[in-house]
Amino acid sequence: QVQLVESGGGLVQAGGSLRVSCEVSGGTFGSYGMGWFRQGAGKEREFVAAISASGGSTFLDDSVKGRFTISRDNAKNTMYLQMNNLKAEDTAVYFCAGDPDGSWRRWDDYSFWGQGTQVTVSS
């Protein structure tokens, strides 16, 4: 059974930085494309970023381009999301997801999900 565990969320002031991690166990991490999604209070889950299995290709939503970076370390079975210049509108629960079958941007195309980690940006 594949398990995804997010960590690194917290409270940060606007303009600050935070890195969230997603550790994967029980599967072959290096064969999965991976993604990050977020869901703010009262909002739908939305795509943030995705990365190919090798890490050679990355995809970022326009709302985070230039501020967020997605990366992975296949030796550590871990994916990261480095978030810089955070804004109040980035406040959300951040979820990692694995093994998309179709669009990188569709959350329901992913096979595996973590429980999420809260990121709160104070203005």
pLDDT value, residue 116: 97
- pLDDT of 63 over the 90 cut: yes
> Tens digits of per-residue pLDDT, 67-111?
999 999 999 999 999 999 999 999 999 999 999 998 899 999 999
Determine the Cα–Cα distance for residues 14 and 5; give it in Å rounded to an integer.
Answer: 26
Instruction: For 37-49, give one letter per residue: b (16+ CB within 10 A) or e.
Output: bbeeeeeebebbb
Determine the Cα–Cα distance for residues 92 and 110; give it in Å rounded to an integer.
Answer: 19
> Tens digits of per-residue pLDDT, 29-55?
999 999 999 999 999 999 999 999 999
**C-alpha dist (Å) from residue 21 to 31, 36, 80, 96, 122:** 18, 10, 4, 9, 21
Long-range contacts of 80-84 (CB under 8 A, 24+ apart): 80/19, 80/20, 80/21, 80/22, 81/19, 81/20, 81/21, 81/22, 81/36, 81/48, 81/49, 82/17, 82/19, 83/17, 83/18, 83/19, 83/20, 83/119, 84/17
